[in-house]
Amino acid sequence: MKIPEVFTNMQDSILFGDCRQTLSEFPEKSARCCVTSPPYYGLRDYGGEEHQIGQEETPEEYIQSLVEVFREVRNVLTDDGTLWVNIGDSYYNYRPGSIAYPKQTVSNTKQDLPDSSPKRGTRLPNLKEKDLIGIPWMLAFALRADGWYLRQDIIWHKPNPMPESVKDRCTKSHEYIFLLSKNKNYYYNNEAIKEDAVGERWAGNKPININNSKDNENTFSGLTRERQMVYDKRNKRSVWKVTTKPYKGAHFAVFPSELIEPCILAASEEYDTILDPFMGSGTTAYTARRNNRHYYGCELHEDYGHLIQQRVPPSVIELSL
């Protein structure tokens, strides 16, 4: 589909439609990183759209759909670009002959929930009742096999998880964020996301010398050697504690801006473009603009455009394809 000539600059634009088609409309090698959270398997219905991602019959088909999406994403990324994917898991609970709504993490209504869930309504020969499917790692390994460099698994620790009535396992309070890169060498600014060095040693930040004073010169005598003992910052750790914060304008789960801000700061510079093929309520666009970045976005459901307009500055360019 040809883009109207008026859109000579694609920055700060949203393309509505299936991202497997719309992603190719963005210029190649024009986004510095991609930060996104795909629809989870069997948990959401985009108004009856055919072939929507997340409503596949099997986990394998779902993973293959995402591999195809991120293959298009790779074309849009610069050679030193990275991909950050937030993805959740689910259990296999076969419920034949009945409508079983999967649980949402935020919504108290059934809006956007499918009439039937393939996650529960399809008998899967490789899974047993109550099995954890392992969706995040299925995706991570599939993307690695497709050519991405799988660089790190980051744990999103949720201090305020949804309560669960289960009595044979722990209440789930985490999700994964995977960091993947297009090439072996990629842009990553560790200085931009360093955190306070609190509790780094067994004694915390208490003075360590015999005279009970901090030695900022790190000079020791005798058999000890010079070493860094007192410092203010450290590399960000791979467990990120971020509370869930429902966005009142949306009736579906929204990942917090605080969760993806470190991704954007580490993976891009000011005025770079950030890509999100599953824009939803516009968290990535909002966070990018707040940090002096541009963005590209794709969203299947055009009705969600009003949510994005409420969160992103009015200079946003919207393009419906």
Predicted confidence (pLDDT) at residue 119 exceeds the cutoff of 80: no
Q: What is the pLDDT at residue 201?
A: 52
Average pLDDT on 134-147 reads: 97
Domains within the chain, CATH numbers bracketed: 13-194+236-320 (3.40.50.150), 198-234 (no CATH)
Higher-pLDDT residue of 156, 115? 156
The region of weakest confidence among 13-27, 177-191, 255-269, 290-304 is 290-304
Q: Report the candidate in 60, 59, 49 with the shortest Cα–Cα distance to residue 19.
A: 49
Confidence of residue 296 (pLDDT cuts 50, 70, 90): very high
Q: What is the pLDDT at residue 261?
A: 98
Average model confidence (pLDDT) for the chain? 79
Give 59-106 pLDDT, tens digit per residue: 999 999 999 999 999 999 999 999 999 999 988 876 665 444 444 333
CA distances from 212 to 203, 204, 208, 232, 269 (A): 12, 14, 6, 18, 42
